[in-house]
Amino acid sequence: MAFTNNIMIVRHKLLADLVRLWKDEQLIEKIDRLPLELTPKKSKHMGRCCVHKERAVWKYKSFPLMGFDMSDEHDELTPLSEYARQALKREEITKENILCVIDEACSSCIQINYEITNLCRGCVARSCYMNCPKGAVHFKKNGQATIDHDACISCGICHKSCPYHAIVYIPVPCEEACPVKAISKDEEGVEHIDESKCIYCGKCINACPFGAIFEISQTFDVLQGIRKGEKMVAIIAPSILGQFNTSIEQVYGAFKQIGFADVIEVAEGAMMTISNEAHELVEKLEEGQAFMTTSCCPSYIELVEKHVSGIRPYVSSTGSPMYYAARIAKEKHPDAKIVFVGPCVAKRKEVRRDEAVDFILTFEEIGSIFDGLGIELKEAQPFSVLHTSVREAHGFAQAGGVMGAVKAYLKDEADKINAIQVSDMSKKNIALLRAAAKTGKASAQFIEVMACEGGCITGPCTHNDIVSGRRQLLQDLAKRKDTYETMGR
């Protein structure tokens, strides 16, 4: 795994260790010792006050990996082993929330947004003082300004008015990353995620420098199901092509080694999305609709439902590739439980709305499962899927892939349709979508919308790093000969 920061290492190692204990059937017996083993008595820790704090963080980070969050703790003396016991006996998932904040880890971010640095020259103008609406700016004996943070309301007027740029804005990383203001501090100074606003883009997860934001994992629900003999079928997103440094057949073989009964590519479902969306686009334009957007990104769908409802009439009614792939899997294996595997947080929400999908695992979780079970990918017995999907269907993994696939499917008809892509659910792009919803006009007739800047290959829960993932995906796509041009429709 190409780690881009230490938070990724922590998440990967902790889940891999938990899976390793599960494999040895010692999760309940040995989990209470895991924080002590990860943080030995005389070890040194940057950013933590003491070894005991670090152990507490390890303990509570284990909660979401076992399907719990901080609200499930009613007695601090309850050991991890009790939560492990509950996780392994759980018959169904009852948690409503998809994300959670580990309060023990969310303790080091600043409580203020503006601070005056020693660049302050103690100028005569004193614009910061004169313009502060709360009188929060005062002066030291040497003339330098200082802020009374009890009175400050973080309006930023002083920051804008200082001629020396001596006043700095200090953002809270997760709050700054969230494009819809769904995360903020509670009365105790701990970040809280408002899931009535959250679009599950996942930006906050990797923005938090203390790794305090987690998804509620279903890892042990899936593994326990396999151990109990339940038939599990993995439907795997196209961006798998950029995740592991070995052949895709060996990756699928590793899934079989975990215990999955079958592997089905979501690219097969993408072909149904392409054909349905292409026909719908032509029909809508012929009816006089100004534009149509894609519908396959679940984070975008959450945005539409919660924040930009005006654009709903312009969103394609076509199902996502997962939707169609799940039904292919159910038809082939009616007695199986379907597990979607991909790089996306928002898919956890889509899975809950889809009765054909039972569980979800991310690529990040799969990487930890491989390590925890001791599966060597390059030694795995190759497994080939039966259905061959066109290159364009696998191309859904990258920004522009849906748009390109639909145009490739339409062939000559596509020349009459201009298309653009909106990738990255930033505040600026959300504003553009709001404007299109309000005016009923857009700069193109077909708009591909993706929450992640480079498409799914840069999703928040990938295993590989962004640069390597993109390169590996493009290399794999280039090898695929079956296209709409060579195969027709």
Question: Tokens 């804008």 appear where?
Answer: 160
- Indicate the pairing of strand 183-185 with strand 191-193: antiparallel
328 in any annotated domain: yes
pLDDT tens digits, residue range 185-202? Answer: 888 888 999 999 999 999
| Whole-angstrom distance, CA of residue 446 vs CA of residue 281 | 8
Are 307 and 180 in contact, with CB atoms under 8 Å apart? yes
Token readout for 99 is 């994300």
pLDDT tens digits, residue range 11-34? Answer: 889 999 999 999 999 999 999 999
Are 444 and 420 in contact, with CB atoms under 8 Å apart? yes
- Whether the per-residue pLDDT at 7 is higher than 90: the answer is no
Give residue 84's pLDDT. Answer: 98
Q: To 10 degrees, what angle do helices 80-89 and 219-227 make?
A: 60
In terms of domains, do 99 and 130 share one? no
Element (H, E) at 293: strand 292-293
Give residue 1's pLDDT. Answer: 44
Q: pLDDT class for 93, splitting at 50, 70, 90?
A: confident
The overall longest dimension of the chain from CA atoms, in Å, is 80
Q: Where are the alpha helices (DSSP H) in 259-388?
A: 266-286, 298-306, 321-332, 347-353, 363-372
188 in any annotated domain: no
In terms of domains, do 281 and 336 share one? yes
Instruction: Compute how many other C-beta atoms are within 10 angstroms of the C-beta atom of residue 303.
Output: 26
Look up residue 113 and give its DSSP letter.
S
Helix (H, G, I), strand (E, B) or coil at 482: coil
Which residue type occupies 172?
A: V
Give residue 49's pLDDT. Answer: 77
Token readout for 67 is 């399907």
Across the range 365-388, mean pLDDT stands at: 95
In terms of domains, do 416 and 319 share one? yes
258 in any annotated domain: yes
- Whether the per-residue pLDDT at 425 is higher than 60: the answer is yes
- The residue from 161, 190, 220 where one domain ends is 220
- Whether the per-residue pLDDT at 322 is higher than 80: the answer is yes
Give residue 42's pLDDT. Answer: 78
Domain total of the chain: 3
Question: Tokens 């809280």 appear where?
Answer: 192
In terms of domains, do 396 and 449 share one? yes
| Whole-angstrom distance, CA of residue 370 vs CA of residue 355 | 28
Which residue type occupies 485?
A: E
Q: pLDDT class for 367, splitting at 50, 70, 90?
A: very high
Q: pLDDT class for 325, splitting at 50, 70, 90?
A: very high
Helix (H, G, I), strand (E, B) or coil at 118: coil
Give residue 5's pLDDT. Answer: 57
pLDDT tens digits, residue range 102-141? Answer: 998 887 677 778 999 999 999 999 999 999 999 999 999 9
Looking at the DSSP bridge assignments, the partners of residue 419 are: 446
Task: Give me the CATH number covering residue 133.
Answer: 3.30.70.20
Q: pLDDT class for 6, splitting at 50, 70, 90?
A: low
Q: Where are the alpha helices (DSSP H) in 6-156?
A: 6-23, 27-30, 34-38, 51-65, 80-89, 127-131
In terms of domains, do 260 and 381 share one? yes
The percent of residues in the chain predicted with pLDDT above 70, rounded, is 97
In terms of domains, do 144 and 74 share one? no
Mean pLDDT of all residues belonging to the chain? 93
In terms of domains, do 54 and 151 share one? no
Question: Tokens 């509950």 appear where?
Answer: 86
Give residue 94's pLDDT. Answer: 86
pLDDT tens digits, residue range 238-277? Answer: 999 999 999 999 999 999 999 999 999 999 999 999 999 9
In terms of domains, do 40 and 138 share one? no
| Whole-angstrom distance, CA of residue 104 vs CA of residue 243 | 31
Please choose, from the candidates 354, 167, 339, the residue with its C-alpha nearest in 3D space to the C-alpha of residue 262: 339
- Whether the per-residue pLDDT at 47 is higher than 80: the answer is no
Strands (DSSP E) found in 121-277: 137-139, 145-147, 167-169, 183-185, 191-193, 213-215, 232-236, 262-265
Token readout for 31 is 């989990």
484 in any annotated domain: no
Token readout for 486 is 């060579």
471 in any annotated domain: yes
- Whether the per-residue pLDDT at 427 is higher than 80: the answer is yes
Across the range 375-398, mean pLDDT stands at: 94
Q: pLDDT class for 489, splitting at 50, 70, 90?
A: low
Give residue 187's pLDDT. Answer: 80
In terms of domains, do 272 and 147 share one? no
User: Residue 9 contacts by C-beta under 8 Å, 6 or more apart in sequence?
Assistant: 3
In terms of domains, do 271 and 368 share one? yes
- Whether the per-residue pLDDT at 176 is higher than 90: the answer is yes
488 in any annotated domain: no
Across the range 165-194, mean pLDDT stands at: 92
Across the range 329-348, mean pLDDT stands at: 97
Token readout for 158 is 């002083």
250 in any annotated domain: yes
In terms of domains, do 431 and 354 share one? yes
Are 226 and 258 in contact, with CB atoms under 8 Å apart? yes
Torsion of CA 328, 350, 217, 105, to 10 degrees: 160
In terms of domains, do 410 and 317 share one? yes
200 in any annotated domain: no
Domain hosting 318: range is 231-479
Q: To 10 degrees, what angle do helices 51-65 and 6-23 make?
A: 70
Instruction: Compute how many other C-beta atoms are within 10 angstroms of the C-beta atom of residue 206.
Output: 20
Give residue 2's pLDDT. Answer: 44
